[in-house]
Amino acid sequence: MRSLVRPARFTKPTVVVPAIQRTPPIRHRSTSSNDAPATAALSPRWLSDVRTRIGRCIDFGIKPEQSQEAASILQEIVTDCHVNNVMYNRYAESARVNWTLNFAANDPKHKAEWMELMTPKSVGLILRSIKTDYKFPMKWPDRITVLHKLRNNPKQNADHFILDVLILSEAHRRPAARCTEDIVVYDYRTAKKSPLPPFMLDKFQETFRLQERAKEKNGERVRGLLDRVTELEKSSWDREGAQEDFGSAAD
């Protein structure tokens, strides 16, 4: 979901403050990822690290063919990795409605049932809790992208599910806030929690499988980019006799 962020007034909202993260010192040595296990978790800072590492290569001076490789890596990041930040609860909730509507659009056989989930007629969805970790204050004007994903593969007879939410700022190009939503399936007719209906369970399990497949595919792409940056480092500043190119007064 994309929307234009407009300024709003808030009266001391209650937020969950994330723990302070300590940034490790910069390593002036390229690190190959060949020794890392195939399933190693990617650093949450990999995107900003790529920009920093390529910038250091450029500082030391690179050849024309190396410049083309650096430009190719940066172009792929700009095209495919619109990583941004920012988030407020109302954006997450609006995006969750759109997320549900997408299921209705892609499952015409059960479209009516999906639509009823957002009404108090029969079986519906209720937000039991939401936790928000704010990363930085977003300023208007900006555009945001809100992403939802299932945290776990839903099991039969489950009466709730967890959604991980990421709100990205296109102006800042990095994640600013994350949410965790606990959603309960509720039967308004009996006034009790209810297991996920079969049509929901089937679609959620299919969606989770697609998520895992996409995670593996894109993880390989990121590792490939990191390997290319490592090679660029080794052929520019991370070599014997490398000197940083400060230019000259005549430039």
Residue 251 confidence (pLDDT): 55
In a domain, 38, yes or no: no
pLDDT digits (tens, 9 = 90+) for 170-190: 888 888 789 999 999 999 999
The answer on 134 and 154 residing in a single domain is yes
Query: When comparing pLDDT for 207 and 138, which is higher?
Result: 207
Query: When comparing pLDDT for 74 and 99, which is higher?
Result: 99
| 3-class secondary structure, 130 | strand
Q: Are 77 and 83 in contact, with CB atoms under 8 Å apart?
A: no
The answer on 108 and 76 residing in a single domain is no
Q: How many CB atoms lie within 10 A of CB 125?
A: 17
Residue 39 confidence (pLDDT): 52
In a domain, 187, yes or no: yes
In a domain, 99, yes or no: yes
The answer on 106 and 70 residing in a single domain is no
CATH number assigned to the domain comprising residue 150: 3.10.129.10
In a domain, 248, yes or no: no
Residue 20 confidence (pLDDT): 43
% the chain with pLDDT above 70: 76
- With CA atoms as reference, report the closest residue to 69 among 84, 81, 57: 57
* pLDDT of 83 higher than 60: no
The answer on 175 and 234 residing in a single domain is no
pTM of the model: 0.62
Please give the mean pLDDT across all residues of the chain.
Answer: 81
The answer on 155 and 227 residing in a single domain is no
Distance between CA atoms of 84 and 177, rounded to whole angstroms? 9
In a domain, 247, yes or no: no
Residue 79 confidence (pLDDT): 57
Q: Count the domains in the chain.
A: 2
The answer on 98 and 171 residing in a single domain is yes
In a domain, 35, yes or no: no
The answer on 95 and 173 residing in a single domain is yes
Tokens 């300024």, residue located: 7
Query: When comparing pLDDT for 72 and 147, which is higher?
Result: 147
The answer on 73 and 114 residing in a single domain is no
The answer on 119 and 218 residing in a single domain is no
The answer on 218 and 188 residing in a single domain is no
Q: Are strands 160-169 and 174-187 parallel, antiparallel or unpaired?
A: antiparallel
% the chain with pLDDT above 90: 45
pLDDT digits (tens, 9 = 90+) for 115-157: 999 999 999 999 999 998 888 777 767 788 999 999 999 999 9
The answer on 127 and 171 residing in a single domain is yes
* Rounded alpha-carbon distances, angstroms, from residue 199 to 108, 115, 165, 170, 194: 11, 13, 23, 35, 14
112, with CB counted inside 10 A (0-12, 13-18, 19+), is exposed
In a domain, 21, yes or no: no
Give the domain extent around 131: 89-196
In a domain, 22, yes or no: no
The answer on 109 and 76 residing in a single domain is no
